[in-house]
Amino acid sequence: MEVKPAAGARKGVRNRPARVAKDATGIKGGIEVAKQETYDLEPRYSTNEISGKCLKCLSEQELNSCLRQLLREDGINPDVQHKYEALVAFLQSPESKQLRVESERYLSEGKQVSVRISIIEDRPKYELIIK
């Protein structure tokens, strides 16, 4: 599996809480550790047997799902809100277009791709993973 950094449950989307080392108090080195979440989007080409979605459509579908879930629930679910914010940041970022182009190119070559969206200390990070 090749991991290529970017320039800057439903099929095709995975939530992966990242593990962050901290002591029993929840504090690492005297500084509170910020939450880190990772979301994988796995775009696919549509064929006669399998329906797929491009990276943008998959991101928008997941964004709409988060919005519906936030509107349905009584209180604020911080995990869903965090995912919603990560997806909005991704769709608005200049890197998303480049990642869409690159993922389509690899998909056309018959490779499986995944885009990993991570928010670490309020900074987005995007990676294109080629399998």
Q: What is the pLDDT of residues 50-97, one digit of tens each?
A: 777 889 999 999 999 999 999 988 878 888 998 999 999 999 999 999
Q: What is the pLDDT of residues 91-112, one digit of tens each?
A: 999 999 999 999 999 998 989 9
Domain positions in the chain: 2-130
Sheet holding 113-120, edge to edge: 2-5, 123-130, 113-120, 36-41, 13-17
pTM over cut 0.75: no
Buried-exposed string 51-78: b where 16+ CB fall within 10 A, e elsewhere? eebbbbebbebbbebbeeeeeeeeeeee
What is the token pair recorded at 104? 């389509």
Nearest-angstrom CA–CA distance, 105 and 109: 7
Q: Is residue 16 pLDDT above 80, yes or no?
A: no
